Amino acid sequence: MECINYEINHAIEHMLENNYPRKQFWNMDLQIPDLKAGIRAGDDSIIVGNKVYNMEGPYPLVLGSKTALIHTSCDIVAMGAKPIFAMDSIQAKPEEIKMVIDGLKKQSVGLNIPIIGGNTQTIEELKSCVSVMVHGELISDKIIYDAGSKSDDVLVMLGHPIEGDIGERAQKAKNKYDTFLEILRNDVEVHACKDASRGGWLCNLLEMILKAKVGVKLNSIPYPRATRYLGTYIVSIPEESLNDVLKISLENRCPIMNFGKVTKEKSFLIGNDEYIDKNRMIELIRSFPYKK
């Protein structure tokens, strides 16, 4: 009980850390015609027309060489888009350039996302790091927002945890991308999706339900450390979609776990134990600035 309460508090702190920057840039959304997801949405990517963009980082150089492109493209697919190309921004010492470029290239080849430009600098007094931007295109007219969960939806965790060497990470990520996009191409109803990324699955799940102004009841724990980066998808679907999602996941040999249900009652339960009550949930919803 004490451990999960600590992780819930950690997740809440993580969710609220972007409030100030969003407040400062809030009205800039209004300057972009055909904007469908921007600073106000606080979603995994931004969307203008049918174009989808995401930027992540800066990552420490070694970590970025293993996962920067994987992590950044993950959020593109989560919103229902296919990644098309990427750009990078690298700060590194001359002797580090080969390591990070080779790592990014392995990710690019494994995911079939070409890197077509960017910026590289070798300023000695700056700390080495890397950022990546990915451009994608929606595969249909439907956008999968992270705020779309509905009461009585089933929650599933889709995909392998992203770990291992670069090739293994890219293969696991591509398996999840291919599976999720196939689900969408088959017109299976999906209400919401979010990458279980920085902050962990618990943080990202809480963010989804606060934006949707609903509650959740978990019937299992998808990963024991709730704050760990997984790189899997949390997907919210109507119960009648579950069989189709299972079938497509099985055909793609993509792991999937049914771990909870969205509730009309605004609370957070694990089994029958309540960890966030209605009053606290309403307070958190009010403090959350995002708008679909």
Domain ranges for the chain = 1-17+144-292, 32-143
Q: Is the pLDDT of residue 224 over 80?
A: no
Query: CATH number for the 1-17+144-292 domain, one of 3.30.413.10, 3.30.10.20, 3.90.650.10, 3.40.50.720?
Result: 3.90.650.10
Q: What pLDDT sits at residue 133?
A: 98
Write out the two tokens for 260: 């909870």
Write out the two tokens for 32: 């972009």
CATH number of 32-143: 3.30.1330.10
Portion of the chain with pLDDT greater than 90, in percent: 79
Write out the two tokens for 30: 């209004």
Q: Please give the backbone phi and psi of residue 164, each rounded to the nearest 5 degrees, phi first.
A: 105, -165
Read off the pLDDT of residues 186-200 as tens digits, 9 standing for 90 and up: 999 999 999 988 778
Q: Is the pLDDT of residue 14 over 70?
A: no
Q: What pLDDT sits at residue 225?
A: 75
Global confidence as pTM: 0.92
Question: How distant, in Å, are the alpha carbons of 22, 142, 223 from that of 190?
Answer: 27, 10, 22
Read off the pLDDT of residues 150-171 as tens digits, 9 standing for 90 and up: 999 999 999 999 999 999 999 9
The answer to whether the 1-17+144-292 and 32-143 domains have the same CATH topology is no
User: How would residue 147 be classed by pLDDT, with cut points 50, 70 and 90?
Assistant: very high
In whole angstroms, give the CA distance from residue 9 to residue 203. 9
Q: Is the pLDDT of residue 10 over 70?
A: no
Read off the pLDDT of residues 25-77 as tens digits, 9 standing for 90 and up: 999 999 999 999 999 998 989 999 999 999 999 999 999 999 999 999 999 99
Read off the pLDDT of residues 67-92 as tens digits, 9 standing for 90 and up: 999 999 999 999 999 999 999 999 99
